Amino acid sequence: MLDLDKRSIMYLPGVGPKKAEILQKEAGISSYEDLLFYFPYKYVDRSRFYKVAEVTGEMPYIQLKGRILYFDTVGEGRTRRLIGKFTDGTGTIDLVWFKGIAYVTDKIKPGVDYIVFGKPTEFGHIYNIAHPEVDPVEQAEQVANGLTPFYNTSEKMKKSFLNSRAIQNLQYTLLSGLNWALPETLPPAILQRIRMMPLAEAIKNIHFPESVDKLRNAQLRLKFDELFFIQLHILRMASVRRLKLKGIVFPSVGQYFNTFYKEYLPFELTNAQKRVVREIRADMGSGRQMNRLLQGDVGSGKTLVALLAMLLAVDNHCQACMMAPTEILANQHYATVMGFLKDMDIRVALLTGSTKKKERNKILPAIASGEIQLVIGTHALIEETVVFSSLGLAIIDEQHRFGVEQRSRLWMKNAIVPHVLVMTATPIPRTLAMTLYGDLDVSVIDELPPGRKPIQTLHRYDNKKAQLYDFLNKEIRQGRQVYVVYPLIEGSEKLDYKNLEEGFETFKEVFPEYKVCMVHGKMKAADKEAEMQKFVSGEAQILMATTVIEVGVNVPNASVMVIESAERFGLSQLHQLRGRVGRGAEQSYCILVSSYKLSNETRKRLEIMVNSNNGFEIAEADLRLRGHGDLEGTRQSGEGVELKIASLAADGQILQYARDIAQDILNEDPELLSEPNRVLNERLKTLFARKVNWGMIS
Ligand code: ADP
Ligand code: MG
């Protein structure tokens, strides 16, 4: 065993303690292995030599072959620079150095042939290359054979002579100077099955590609490797949990479920809802503990599915609870559930932070005795004073607002871990879901209840406010209500609140005959409730708010959503906000108001919103536009997915393939104990020993 992960980078010739520290801090490279897995971010083709006569200012990196005619030092103080007049017989170009002048004139001699590499720019009709790489032609073989790798380096690294070229040299030292072969991470049978390059060859070619073809194959193998081991890790954790964690068995569909389904359900379930209910029933009857993620676009009817699942628990003599991220939402869920259940004989309680002490004192013992069968609430549910008699099912709504820790506290509420259903309306791209929630079973409601008119989305510039007001006036006169939302961005809160308050004043002036109300996060909970209530009851026609209304609020009569400074919202957030309207039978509108000056990316974002109503499509587009690192949801939970080479946006097929293979392996050998699978086990240990506990992300 070579234990490349245990050999300190400090001992690699050319590194030493000082550079080792910088490599560690700036690039996370502490071992030989870390260095080998520090991949180039791009390659420049150095197989071709350009002629000076061909040079233009728009070229990327190029290389020239020729000699320096003479050196000249110009400028004073900070503008002092060394210029080398360079020619290849077709013209001249200036090579310019601002630093290290003595070093350059010492090493590079006029009249000698060199290979020069750098990016040309035009300055006062003269082309020049600043700080070019200059190598003797004898070294052409080594420096100029085809694709040259470029590595990310920080300012600090560059200052310590660890620029891209230096990293390349270190890779060279490591790969050629030492006498070993890189051990394979996959068992022979798997390698044969996937028909990819062996790891050693891939690593060599990722740093020093022998050809474009070999580079592609190396990238494929390394992307596969990266995604495969993440999937293998997640799936193994999940399968071990399945083997070890017994679930409460809910064998029967009983009175509660059937009575509700046959007599109380006001409409037919959509096919998607039916399918998801079947999936949940199968899980809860299996004897395994359910861990299911329910994804469904806003308005797809998740609450009803949740209620049906809770009734199944009650049918099997268990309690169920549903936890929402805000009080407004918990209240609303409670009202919805009570509305559905009407006079059914079932005890439901609401428990939130503002539940009065007297009320609490009645509720808590009734939960402990099992008298109360369903509990709906907020974080208040996971306080220690809340003890269940037998909690069989815990439902968490709008999952991304809860941390992993809070969720696991819910699990601990029972001797046997309850079934867990996590609901989210934030559509997550498939690849990200597989990676972040890869250990959860996923159900998707991909169908809206019938009779909904698709929301019409319009993009308007904020210098055309009068037209907007006319439009709103027309809608309100027909009895509709209007949301107006302002952004609230970290760091600019003061300004954002000012915008909201000014907007509030303006709207009151523009619409004197209507009632306008306002909510934002800085208000006291009770005031917020009161303002919100004015809108819910229909007393106010216009609700102006920061993004506090983003999640879950249901006012079917509200048919217009105006989003101010829409350019400052992310796509998923815009989609969430838009989901607040379109819940009634009327034609609904979402109006994105932005300034006239927009970056290309922002313009694209708003265009996507105008053109698509499909949350999954939007999430995928978001992923393509921004890359996964920035996705809402990953950032909020604080557990981003850091990938070195694969991309969740571009490599969905490789990911699926890697996951399938990982699953096949685990089906045969769930704990990876067979002799050929030992390398897999070893690799998982190296990769995940000091990293996030992926299996606990649920
Ligand atoms: P979500 O939580 O997924 O955003 P809700 O559960 O709030 O969506 O449902 C949105 C609205 O659709 C609610 O008014 C609900 O009563 C209604 N609804 C749910 N399922 C159906 C259905 N199958 N047919 C008609 N309306 C439905
Ligand atoms: Mg909901």
Of residues 16 and 99, more confidently modeled: 16
483 Cβ contact list (under 8 Å, min separation 6) = 542, 543, 545, 549, 558, 560, 561, 562, 577, 580, 581
Question: How confident is the model at residue 392, as a pLDDT?
Answer: 93
% of the chain residues with pLDDT over 90: 52
Q: How confident is the model over 258-287, as a mean pLDDT?
A: 94
Residue nearest to atom 13 of ligand 1 (CA): 301
Helix axis angle, 327-341 relative to 525-537, nearest 10°?
A: 40
Residue nearest to atom 16 of ligand 1 (CA): 301
pLDDT-based confidence at residue 145 (cuts at 50, 70, 90): low
pLDDT one-digit tens code per residue, 328-383: 788 889 989 999 999 999 999 999 998 999 999 999 999 999 999 999 999 888 88
118 ligand 1 Cβ < 6 A: no
Mutate to test the pocket of ligand 1, among 303, 322, 455 (most ligand atoms within 8 A of CB): 303
Of residues 493 and 207, more confidently modeled: 207
Q: Rounded to the nearest whole angstrom, what is the distance from the C-alpha of residue 299 to the centroid of ligand 2?
A: 7
533 ligand 1 Cβ < 6 A: no
- In the structure encoding, which two tokens stand for residue 609, read together? 């919103």
Residue nearest to atom 27 of ligand 1 (CA): 449
615 ligand 1 Cβ < 6 A: no
Question: How confident is the model at residue 639, as a pLDDT?
Answer: 39
Residue nearest to atom 20 of ligand 1 (CA): 301
Dihedral sign of CA atoms 664, 665, 666, 669 in order: positive
Question: How confident is the model at residue 676, as a pLDDT?
Answer: 94
Give the ligand at the shortest distance from the Cα of 399: 2
Q: Rounded to the nearest whole angstrom, what is the distance from the C-alpha of residue 267 to the centroid of ligand 2?
A: 17
pLDDT-based confidence at residue 408 (cuts at 50, 70, 90): low
Residue nearest to atom 17 of ligand 1 (CA): 301
Give the ligand at the shortest distance from the Cα of 295: 1
- CA of residue 15 relative to chain centroid, distance: 36
Residue nearest to atom 10 of ligand 1 (CA): 299
Among the ranges 10-19, 59-68, 634-643, which has the highest mean pLDDT value? 10-19
Q: Rounded to the nearest whole angstrom, what is the distance from the C-alpha of residue 605 to the centroid of ligand 1?
A: 28
Q: Rounded to the nearest whole angstrom, what is the distance from the C-alpha of residue 273 to the centroid of ligand 1?
A: 10
Q: Rounded to the nearest whole angstrom, what is the distance from the C-alpha of residue 24 to the centroid of ligand 1?
A: 52
Among the ranges 46-60, 96-110, 255-269, 637-651, which has the highest mean pLDDT value? 255-269
303 ligand 1 Cβ < 6 A: yes
Question: How confident is the model at residue 237, as a pLDDT?
Answer: 80
427 ligand 1 Cβ < 6 A: no
Look up residue 584 and give its amino acid: G
Question: How confident is the model at residue 524, as a pLDDT?
Answer: 86
Q: How confident is the model over 130-158, as a mean pLDDT?
A: 81
For the CA of 445, the nearest atom of ligand 1: 3
273 ligand 1 Cβ < 6 A: yes
290 ligand 1 Cβ < 6 A: no
Q: How confident is the model over 273-277, as a mean pLDDT?
A: 97
pLDDT tops 60 at residue 112: yes
513 Cβ contact list (under 8 Å, min separation 6) = none
Contact, 305 vs 277, CB < 8 A? yes
Q: Residue for token digits 């300004």?
A: 495
Question: How confident is the model at residue 10, as a pLDDT?
Answer: 94
pLDDT-based confidence at residue 692 (cuts at 50, 70, 90): very low
489 ligand 1 Cβ < 6 A: no
Residue nearest to atom 26 of ligand 1 (CA): 449
pLDDT one-digit tens code per residue, 565-583: 999 888 888 888 898 898 8
Give the ligand at the shortest distance from the Cα of 329: 2
Question: How confident is the model at residue 599, as a pLDDT?
Answer: 87
Distance CA 44, CA 148 (A): 5
Contact, 130 vs 121, CB < 8 A? yes
pLDDT tops 90 at residue 389: yes
Q: How confident is the model over 98-109, as a mean pLDDT?
A: 88
The pTM for the full model equals 0.67
Distance CA 655, CA 648 (A): 8
Mutate to test the pocket of ligand 1, among 269, 294, 297, 304 (most ligand atoms within 8 A of CB): 304
Q: How confident is the model over 300-319, as a mean pLDDT?
A: 95
For the CA of 296, the nearest atom of ligand 1: 3
Give the ligand at the shortest distance from the Cα of 575: 1
Helix axis angle, 199-207 relative to 212-244, nearest 10°?
A: 130
Question: How confident is the model at residue 241, as a pLDDT?
Answer: 73
Question: Minimal CA–CA distance to 475: which of 591, 385, 380?
Answer: 591
Pick the range with the lowest mean pLDDT from 282-286, 557-561, 636-640: 636-640
Question: How confident is the model at residue 360, as a pLDDT?
Answer: 96
For the CA of 270, the nearest atom of ligand 1: 23
Q: How many CB atoms lie within 10 A of CB 290?
A: 24
Of residues 398 and 620, more confidently modeled: 620
Q: Could you give the C-alpha distances from 519 to 324, 498, 544, 553, in angstroms and in order?
A: 19, 13, 6, 13
Contact, 698 vs 404, CB < 8 A? yes
Question: How confident is the model at residue 631, as a pLDDT?
Answer: 39
Distance CA 576, CA 590 (A): 11
